[in-house]
Chain A
């Protein structure tokens, strides 16, 4: 895990009972997780009366350091022993180490979901809707009498947050072909995930 000197310093400061008493430490730690995981969180996370006595520059530095460390740990899938080792090296006492690990464990799943959702990927299909119609005639062709499907795929783009749709028409044979192929994919997926 590679952390900059600034982050390391900020984090080590959190171990010092002189800078952060037990209560302040807990509050700051929770604020760090909240900033990362709560979509509605803003600078007000640090606006707690029990943190008022601390120099705002120090507060901000340590909050950032904690958040950065949490992200790194999440990214690397750090386990309890890795966390403990690093915290010991930073001179955290037993009580604070336990507290950190507990908070981390509580938030681990949300953190991993958040990190997993960052990144580029292909447009992602989220849903499908369909329409069945019976074609009778067009301006070019009368007496048609055939069923036709209109299929719309709802698609999400990770980076642009746009939701384009892909619509296409198909007849019965084509839809059977489409469904057949998707079923093949689904079965292969089932087999492959049964290791």
Chain B
């Protein structure tokens, strides 16, 4: 599958051949850093001064690079397809090689970052548990009531969410049994067939 680059996009990327490869590599590094941490406009200004161009040009160049990398990573395009897609930009072979290497080196991490953008349900982080025995309450003395207190740590949108819950021994066994069945499901023939056929 080839990337479809818009005219505007191609224009932005046209800045790259005008600088030497170490600058392109630096832009690439900035691009990935922006994906990790978010954009920092001050960097554009510093680079613009050094290269003697407008900061807008630098910004477009970096953003063009970001878009190129994220689209390629999202679609998981092959090496060949990436090379062919970039070919239309008319860059030098050296620059093409550099871009390809950059794509391959950072693809995995970029995909991880992109996966965090999906519609988000709280996701499991970890679980702590504690055994308790209730001995008495205001309304009933002399009890022996075992229970399990659970601290469930969930992640959502980068925030940690903690729930403190309790359950009784019978329900605990039931939970284990049900969730073990859930794990077993992936090993069934049905699921294996589905996984094999969707590729």
Contact = CB atoms under 8 A, between A and B. Distances in A.
Interface of A: 74-77, 112, 115-116, 118-119, 121-130, 132, 134, 136, 138-145, 147, 149-151, 153, 155, 166-170, 172, 174-179, 181-186, 188-189, 192-193
Contact of A169 (B123, B138, B145, B199): B123
B141 A77 contact: yes
B80 interface: no
B169 A138 contact: no
Interface in B153-199: 154, 163-169, 171-176, 178-180, 182-183, 185-186, 191, 194-195, 198-199
A78 B12 CA distance: 86
17 contacts: A118-B138, A121-B166, A122-B164, A123-B163, A125-B175, A141-B115, A141-B118, A166-B163, A167-B121, A167-B122, A177-B126, A179-B180, A182-B175, A182-B179, A186-B172, A188-B131, A189-B131
Interface residues of B, number: 57
A189 B169 CA distance: 7
Interface string B85-121: 0000000000000000000000000010011011101
Contacts of A129: 178
B192 to A, nearest CB: 11
Nearest to A143: B76
B67 to A, nearest CB: 13
Nearest to A155: B165
Contacts of A169: 121-124
B125 to A, nearest CB: 8
> Chain B binding site: helix, strand, loop or mixed by DSSP?
mixed
Nearest to B172: A186
A160 to B, nearest CB: 15
Nearest to A124: B166
A118 B176 contact: no
Given A122-B164, A130-B182, A186-B173, A74 B126 contact: no
B148 interface: yes
A153 B111 CA distance: 30
Contacts of B111: 141
Given A141-B114, A142-B75, A193 B122 contact: no
B150 interface: yes
B140 interface: yes
Contacts of B57: none
A126 B174 CA distance: 9
A119 B138 contact: yes
Contacts of B124: 151, 168-170, 174-175, 177-178
Contacts of B140: 74-75, 77, 112, 115-116, 118
A-B complex: 4 closest residue pairs judged by Cβ atoms: A170-B124, A115-B140, A122-B166, A125-B167
B175 A128 contact: yes
Nearest to B112: A141
B77 to A, nearest CB: 10
